[in-house]
Structure 1
Amino acid sequence: MTVRELLARISSSELAEWRAFEQLTGPLGGARGDVQAALIASVIAGANRGKGQRAPKVSDFMPRWDRTKVRKSPEDLFRQAEMANAALGGSFNTTTA
């Protein structure tokens, strides 16, 4: 399913609920598999390490998909979100509650 199809089928509030669910239960989909594989790899490496070597951490085996070294400011992130929203044909609600 494409992002456009997803947004046509569910509301932004439902998408936010899924995000909250993922924050409570851990990653869904491929990210969960990355954690599981890293855990297994760290256990195997730890069992086969030499005497006196430190036990590897799970994080040592986690793939880093985002190789960006520069931290982005909240303003930069907001501008990126605005551009993504515009590219997907979204609109902004400018009314205040």
Structure 2
Amino acid sequence: MTVRELLARMGSAELAEWRAYEQISGPLGGARGDVQAALVAAAIASVNTPKGKRPPSVSDFMPRWDRTKIRKSPEELFKLAMAANASLGGTVNTTTP
């Protein structure tokens, strides 16, 4: 179903109710599966963590789909691009044609 079809079938009030329900009860659909998988992975990693080390938490295994909150400056992005280029054996051409 597309967003257009959803909006044609459901009013904004009902959509707001579903959003409020999800905020109270937790994620609906695939996001809940991510939480469940992260919980299992954290439990397995925890029992296999050596004594004295901090066991991983559930958040360590949660995929981060929305990366809009991670802001990098243009300089930081350039450094990351240069590091990726170097790690792949790339070169930088600084001459202009």
TM-score by length of 1: 0.69
Matched, 1:5 2:5: yes
> By how many angstroms is 1:31 displaced?
0.6
CA RMSD of aligned residues (A): 0.8
Bigger CA radius of gyration: 2
Q: State the partner residue of 1:15.
A: 15
**Relative contact order: is structure 1 or structure 2 higher (C-alpha 8 Å, sep ≥ 6)?**
1
- The corresponding residue for 2:39 is 39
Cα deviations across residues 20-74 of structure 1 (Å, max 9, x unaligned)? 111111110011000000000000000111121111110000000122213xxxx
Moved over 4 A (4+): none
Structure 2 residues without counterparts, runs of 5 or longer:
72-97
CA distance in 2, matches of 1:66, 1:17: 23
| TM-score normalised over the length of structure 2 | 0.69
Question: Which blocks of at least 5 consecutive residues in structure 1 are unaligned?
Answer: 71-97
Alignment partners' CA distance in 2, 1:25 and 1:50? 35
1:50 aligns with 2:56: no
Match of 1:65 in 2: 65
How many residues get paired? 70
Question: Could you say what secondary structure the match of 2:15 adopts?
Answer: helix
